[in-house]
Amino acid sequence: MARIYVTRHLPGTAVERLRAAHDVDLWPEDGPPPHDELVARAREADALLTMLTDRIDADFLRAVEPLRAVANYAVGTDNVDLDACTAAGIPVGNTPDVLTDATADLAFALLLAAARRIRDADEAVRSGNWPTWSPGAFLGQDVAGATLGIVGYGRIGKAVARRGEGFGMEIIHNSRSGGASLDELLERSDYVSLHAPLTPETRGLIGERELALMKPTAILINTARGELVQTRALERALKDGAIAGAALDVTDPEPLPADHPLLTAPNLTVVPHIGSATRTTREKMSDMAANNLLAALAGERMPYCANPEVYDG
């Protein structure tokens, strides 16, 4: 029987499945464990089930060795140094191909909310400022027939494109495999939706220059990674009217402090990283993470391994 440290409560029955086979130490709070606490708990564990907020790097691995496996509760592994894990012989699991539709749904929901100023209208009602109907009240942007630019044309980007096609939108895309140039996409699009992975090349991809290329009536949507967008540049673009609005599921930093200056920008909708937050999707992610750990601790190959080269040795 191995000891597993799980850094957050999980939807569904995954923790119970792990407990049926192993000793599970579950972090009891809703927020992430402080890094020092993560190190201390991991020193007593054989395997970890981590979140994107848990930093697993070379220094961490040296502090907690030996460690047999890490299952990351996410499609991405931005928080995990895969090279360091591979060098240490530690398989790292993730949860791929499970949140495509949930995230695409949210991206399009954010697009619609920003286009039609849903947040502004809702706040007016809740604050008791429901105005008398007026031809000029809460004017937004058309979605049907508009041009949707998709940056990053993988599974989620293509799923967003299908939703846009249902609204009769013209779709243009930019990715490593082809499509329009980023500059052309930014110049032509009424809506720009980001779905690129976070890499050294895409970090800060959308900055002052790129925002200046967008139409003043355009809206930026980001459900990928907050670090794709230069936060200060976005704040200036919104306040200066360089673009019409933005809708974000991810931010840099994340979480965004309540007093962050970006939140004073007009025509901005921000939600707290809920792209995969449907009950079905999150329970599937829990089961995939548990399956990764159960396999690794049984001496078997992880079914969803982010560093499969670890098995080559």
Catalytic residues: 225, 254, 273
> 178-179 and 191-194 as β-strands: parallel, antiparallel, unpaired?
unpaired
> 170-175 and 178-179 as β-strands: parallel, antiparallel, unpaired?
antiparallel
Is residue 236 within 8 A of residue 210, CB to CB? The reply is no
* Location of structure tokens 């990764």: 292
* Location of structure tokens 């220094």: 59
| Cα(59)–Cα(42) distance, integer angstroms | 13
Q: What are 65's two structure tokens? A: 């060795």
Is residue 177 within 8 A of residue 196, CB to CB? The reply is no
CA-nearest of 97, 111, 220 to 164 is 111
**Half-sphere exposure (Cβ direction) of 246: Cα atoms closer than 13 Å:** 32
Is residue 82 within 8 A of residue 306, CB to CB? The reply is yes
Phi-psi category of 114—alpha, beta or left, where left has phi over 0 and alpha has psi -120 to 50?
alpha
**Half-sphere exposure (Cβ direction) of 224: Cα atoms closer than 13 Å:** 28
Q: Is the C-alpha dihedral spanning 51, 274, 272, 246 positive or negative?
A: positive
